[in-house]
A and B are shown apart, each in its own frame.
Chain A
Amino acid sequence: MTGARQHPLRTALLMVFALLFFIFLFGPFYWMVVTSLMTEQEMLSVPPKLWPSELSFDNYMAVLGLGDPQFLAEARNRAPAVFEVRQGLVNSLIVGICVAIANILIATPAAYTFSRLKFGYSLPLLMVYLATRMVPPIMLVVPMFLIVRNLGLIDTPLALVAVYCALTLPFSIWLLQSYFRTMPVELEEAAVIDGASRWQTVRMVLLPLSLPGLTCVAILAFMGSWSEFLFAVTFTNTSASRTLPVVAASFVDTASIQFDYVMAAGVITALPPFLLALIFQRFIVSGLSSGAVKG
């Protein structure tokens, strides 16, 4: 088929399906962004406006705690949760970055052993890592809550970092070891012939070449912990450690939901994963498909 022109009718039909998928996949996201840029009055107008007559950033100002005191006091009256968003953003960033770094530090040496060393329990160990990925989080959260409580770590970011590392690590190891396998070992052998030690081959040959794989692991670990909710909501109870998803979800606890603020908070929560997904689209797609199909 390569090079051959396809029938125009076929192209048209494909584009109709593409349009339907486009509306389904993009519509809800679009509506969130557009609503977040509307004033309350415009948001509640009937029939709904698909585009605000004037872009308003008031919702973002309110949610991020910017603006004059009176404006913020009104915002707080409408939705008490607005004042937690800023701290939630900081907490989410701290937790996400720590988890990403820890994943690289712990997964890299482990993944190296499966791709470059020979040892008898290699396959069983890989299976154990794979098996831990299957453990449902709801099963871990119940005993873990008691453990974290007994350690006095409830309501601290540290508890979340530790949990998220455990949850993301098996996938990171799996992804990295399959990535290392695609790197030609001959380059490292050439370095050895030139007198390099094992550590030097890793530092100067394998790791620089594996930068795309390492980036992918860090991004997926960050995104995983950024979005996590079950542990975040059970292990935190004040804004000192609440992450963004917990703060965002707390907007719906009230009797009347202020959707203009909710959508602004939603956009802020979705923004980092959204940007990362677009920027690193290629890495993520190949990482996900290899990780998912191969385990």
Chain B
Amino acid sequence: MAARARGWRTSDQPQPLLAFVLNSPAILLLLVMVLYPILYSAWLSLHQYNLRRPRAVEFIGLGNYIEIFSTPQFWNAARITLVFSIGSIGTTVLLGTLLALLLNERFPGRSVLRAIALIPWAIPPVVNGLVWQWLFEGQNGLINHILLSVGVIDSYQAWLAHPTTALPALVIAQVWNHVPFVAIVMLAALQTIPGELYDAARVDGANVFQRFWYVTFPWLSHSLLLVLITQTMVALRTFDIVYVLTGGGPGDSTTVIAWLTYVTTFSFTDFGKGNAYAYIIALVTMTLSIFYIRMLWKRGDMSK
């Protein structure tokens, strides 16, 4: 019996066939639902293909891409995406890290705050958009009431209908939704810092800021980088709250690249160009993912 147990042990003999059989449902599903669409999308992006003219499908090589890069529409969306991403990622990561540092301290009510902090994360993005739609509302919105009563504004503003305030409003809604996730990840990283490091620093006479800068911050830097990359991917895909809050407007002041892809494909039924947009987003994301995976690899999480 002991011999049989030894033979069974995981590290003893390779079992590629059993592994393949057990993985096959997952592989099959991902082949059909992910790999095939990716290839199909690439193929379509090289065609002129509008659903309204199904017979006029024509291979045009990189024509869609050339057209995209030569229209101001794309560059405008790229600029808006960049502004939106920098604004939302910067704020989310800053607030999320502050929240994590706070939750790592001892104070009355910590467990309440920790439970509350999960709420925005659990709220579906569409509902998030609806809530902020109501908060930013022009006639009865709570934000107008508050800002007017403290004297920041002297009359009610239609925040979402004005080109200069619609994008910041979008950023705020996005930040609210994603701060909890960043806080959870950063808190987990904070809790792995050995207490001895702080004791050693204190013995060396480091004050609270020096302790943060020389102990906490280097320890967090890796998680911080991971969070930055995942949040960038999140920002590039932002679609739901644009749909609910602004619909890309007013004008095209909140037309981020994901929204432009959606509108091009499903409103103008231009599937060739839509797929080309989708591919551009994917290439940017892929570049980021390579960094992401390499970082995980370096840290040794993958090797075991």
| Interface positions of A (Cβ within 8 A of B) | 1-2, 6, 11, 14-15, 17-18, 21-22, 24-26, 28-29, 31-32, 35, 43-44, 46-48, 105-107, 109-110, 112-113, 116-123, 125-132, 134-147, 162-163, 165-166, 169-170, 173, 185, 189, 192-193, 195, 198, 223, 226-227, 229-230, 233-234, 244-246, 248-249, 251-252, 257, 259, 262-263, 265-266, 269-270, 273-274, 276-278, 281, 284-285, 288-290, 292-295
Contacts and interface: CB of A to CB of B under 8 A. Distances in A.
B220 to A, nearest CB: 11
Contacts, number: 315
Given A112-B22, A134-B285, A142 B134 contact: no
Given A14-B102, A123-B302, A135-B38, A252 B130 contact: yes
B37 A147 contact: yes
Given A116-B10, A252-B244, A273 B134 contact: no
Contact of A26 (B102, B116, B266): B116
A21 B113 CA distance: 8
B124 A269 contact: yes
Interface string B217-255: 000000100110010010011011001100000000000
B34 A140 contact: yes
A227 B134 contact: no
B126 A229 contact: yes
Interface in B117-135: 117-127, 129-135
A199 to B, nearest CB: 11
A226 B59 CA distance: 39
* Number of chain B interface residues as a range: 35 or more
A70 to B, nearest CB: 27
Given A106-B29, A233-B243, A293-B189, 7 more contacts: A14-B102, A119-B19, A165-B29, A229-B240, A245-B240, A259-B134, A262-B130
Contact of A229 (B12, B20, B239, B271): B239
B282 A229 contact: no
A266 B130 contact: yes
A123 B304 CA distance: 9
Given A18-B109, A144-B33, A227-B125, A192 B133 contact: no
B133 A252 contact: yes
A188 to B, nearest CB: 8
Contact of A193 (B5, B131, B223, B261): B5
Contacts of B14: 118-120
Contact of A25 (B179, B223, B233, B303): B179
